[in-house]
Amino acid sequence: AYKVRPADNTAPGKFETGTQLHEGQAGTLGVLEYLEWIGKTMATEFQANFPDFSGRRKYLHAAMLAIQDYEETLSKRLISGLQNLPGVDVKGISNQNEFSRRVPTVSFTVKNQNPEEIAQKLAEENIFTWHGHNYALEAIRQMDLEK
């Protein structure tokens, strides 16, 4: 692998092609501190799920479980509401008993409606969405939504 001459041949330095990304390291540290704070202050009921962990490790795991639980709650409410609207077709897993198998990103179509116009109408109500394939070309093709 290409490397800068001053770097030796041992990992991880041999993979470094120049100065390390200090901003990225600071961002990673910030995320860890934020998740630790969530685990300590807002996820105490989830800490018991990790009896073999302590300190930061326990807090990070509790935070991720709390965030997953919160996102699933929001997804259930959103998808349930969308399914009650005429002409709306929610893409992906929409059975609430299987929500642990899906991510909290929700895609939907509305019969006879242009996705760009839907996104614009939602934006006017301060609901920020996106229209388009979002680089998920194969998923769009599989759902026959390339139009």
pLDDT, mean over the chain: 92
Q: Tokens 């609901």 sit at which residue?
A: 127
Whether 104 and 71 have beta carbons less than 8 Å apart is answered as yes
Amino acid identity for residue 83 in this structure: Q
Indicate whether 2 pLDDT > 70: no
Question: In this predicted structure, what is the pLDDT of residue 1?
Answer: 55
DSSP at 102: S
Residue 76: CB partners within 8 Å, gap ≥ 6? 96, 99
Question: In this predicted structure, what is the pLDDT of residue 11?
Answer: 85
Whether 106 and 75 have beta carbons less than 8 Å apart is answered as yes
The whole-model pTM stands at: 0.78
Indicate whether 3 pLDDT > 80: no
In the chain, what percentage of residues exceed pLDDT 90? 73
